[in-house]
Structure 1
Amino acid sequence: MQEYKTVEKEASDFFIEKKSKFIGYAKPVKTQEEAVEFISEIKSKHWDATHNVYAYVLRENNIQRYSDDGEPSGTAGVPVLDVMLKESLVDVCVVATRYFGGTLLGAGGLVRAYSHMSKISLEAAGIITMAQCSVMSAEVDYSFYDRLNILLSDFSAVILNTSFSDKVCVEFSVKENIVDLLNAKLIDVSNGKYISKFLRNEFSKTI
């Protein structure tokens, strides 16, 4: 079963090191076009910055790219990329903006600063695990709704949508390899009254 780690949303964070301000931006991206567009967007936003360093990793063709954007070779883009690789992240782009504060950090200081910038921006974006999942739906009576929620939680299913009418219809994703186990348990605890229906396969966030 395929799984991979990425970030959940676009986010940013910053810190100041010896009067230099570092601002990190992280965003989930699927293609090089999306990554380049994000990098251009941040560069336009911080056109007056001293440096706009970036790195991105894509599942597609195992692409890895980075740029020091004027910082000494190997002190900026590589540390940003290394943090992603150590976390085994893919489909993510990080842009690290620096406003120089007048004090040189030295090669070691730059590596530490850009590594830290990458780390806190990725944490702000929320590191998640995506897995090949089956999206299912279950329609139950209101009296069974709480029991269904407990069951879904027990199987680490992620609820995607819930609609309420004469019955409750819950759409959820669960790892492919435990769909049969979940359905068997649902049939058991409902005395054969309920079973979930398959809708589609997709990569979904797992708990």
Structure 2
Amino acid sequence: MTDRYLSVAREGGHEVEIKRSRFLCALAPVSSEEAAREFIAARRRAGPGARHHCHAFVLGPDGRSRRSSDDGEPAGTAGTPMLEVLRRRELTDTVAVVTRYFGGVLLGAGGLIRAYGQAVAQAIDVVGVLEHRRLQVVEVAVSYDRAGRLENDLRASRYALHATRFDELAHFEIGLGPGEAGTFAGWLADLTGGEAKATGLGERWVTSGP
């Protein structure tokens, strides 16, 4: 069972032009094949005049579920290089659709492979990546007069601040990696003079990124 995976940070895209052909790559985070195929269908509707809407997607924390389509391009020249970029970047729960508007110049198999791969790689650089880690989450509750300093110190620390909540007290959820529980307890005791305690909430996926 994996304890870490990456996905694109948000829905977005990027366009490259190669020998007058336009390659528009759209990316989105997805959590199921149904969601991936809905996104692919939406991209088809958005570009009815395009000759090809090639796609690739990877699903699951372990990235085992993978699909791709050349959508009329020569076999292996579109979907496969798109999928390879996702694999090399270690991305999952991600769908990529490249819409091509033909510019009148044939690119050949090698040119197509490079173009589709380049479109996906550059789009990933534009939208950014999130890291998801399976961590032990604890909650720390403090009075409001301590909340500001604790939040600032948490954000400056190596510990992952997962969520905050405010009612009568300020509540902070922190993700801890293997072996960090003891060091965090000592860090928290030093910071609050022993007044604040951490309560375990169990294991969760914690997301960090841009």
TM-score of the aligned structures, taking structure 1 as reference length:
0.88
Per-residue CA shift, 1:85-131, capped at 9, x if unaligned? 11121111100111111111222211111111111222233212211
Mapped to 2, the partners of 1:158 and 1:100 lie a distance apart of 47
Spell out structure 1 runs of 4+ moving beyond 6 A. Answer: none
Aligned to 2:150: 148
Aligned residues of 1:155 and 1:174 also touching (Cα < 8 A): no
Aligned residues of 1:160 and 1:173 also touching (Cα < 8 A): no
Tell me the amino acid that sits aligned with residue 13 of structure 1.
H
Aligned residues of 1:132 and 1:201 also touching (Cα < 8 A): yes
Identity value in percent:
31
Aligned residues of 1:136 and 1:200 also touching (Cα < 8 A): yes
Aligned to 1:57: 58
Aligned to 1:68: 70
1:158 aligned to 153, 156, 161, which one?
Answer: 161
Aligned to 2:205: 203
Aligned residues of 2:135 and 2:175 also touching (Cα < 8 A): yes
Aligned residues of 2:135 and 2:203 also touching (Cα < 8 A): yes
Residue 17 of structure 1 pairs with residue 18 of structure 2: yes
Aligned to 2:33: 32
Mapped to 1, the partners of 2:176 and 2:148 lie a distance apart of 18
- Give the count of matched residue pairs: 206
Tell me the amino acid that sits aligned with residue 67 of structure 1.
S
Structure 2: which 5+ runs fail to align?
none
Tell me the amino acid that sits aligned with residue 157 of structure 1.
A
Which stretch shows the higher mean deviation, 110-119 or 184-193? 184-193
Structure 1: which 5+ runs fail to align?
none
The alignment partner of 1:73 has SS state of coil
Aligned to 1:115: 117
Task: Quote the offset at 1:58 in angstroms.
Answer: 1.4
Per-residue CA shift, 1:123-168, capped at 9, x if unaligned? 23321221102333322233423431244231231342343x5543
Mapped to 1, the partners of 2:110 and 2:40 lie a distance apart of 25
Aligned to 2:95: 93
Aligned residues of 2:9 and 2:130 also touching (Cα < 8 A): yes
Mapped to 1, the partners of 2:168 and 2:3 lie a distance apart of 38
Which stretch shows the higher mean deviation, 124-133 or 70-79? 124-133
TM-score of the aligned structures, taking structure 2 as reference length:
0.87
Mapped to 2, the partners of 1:167 and 1:69 lie a distance apart of 56
The alignment partner of 1:139 has SS state of strand
Aligned residues of 1:155 and 1:182 also touching (Cα < 8 A): no
Task: Quote the offset at 1:198 in angstroms.
Answer: 2.7
Mapped to 2, the partners of 1:125 and 1:158 lie a distance apart of 23
The alignment partner of 2:180 has SS state of helix
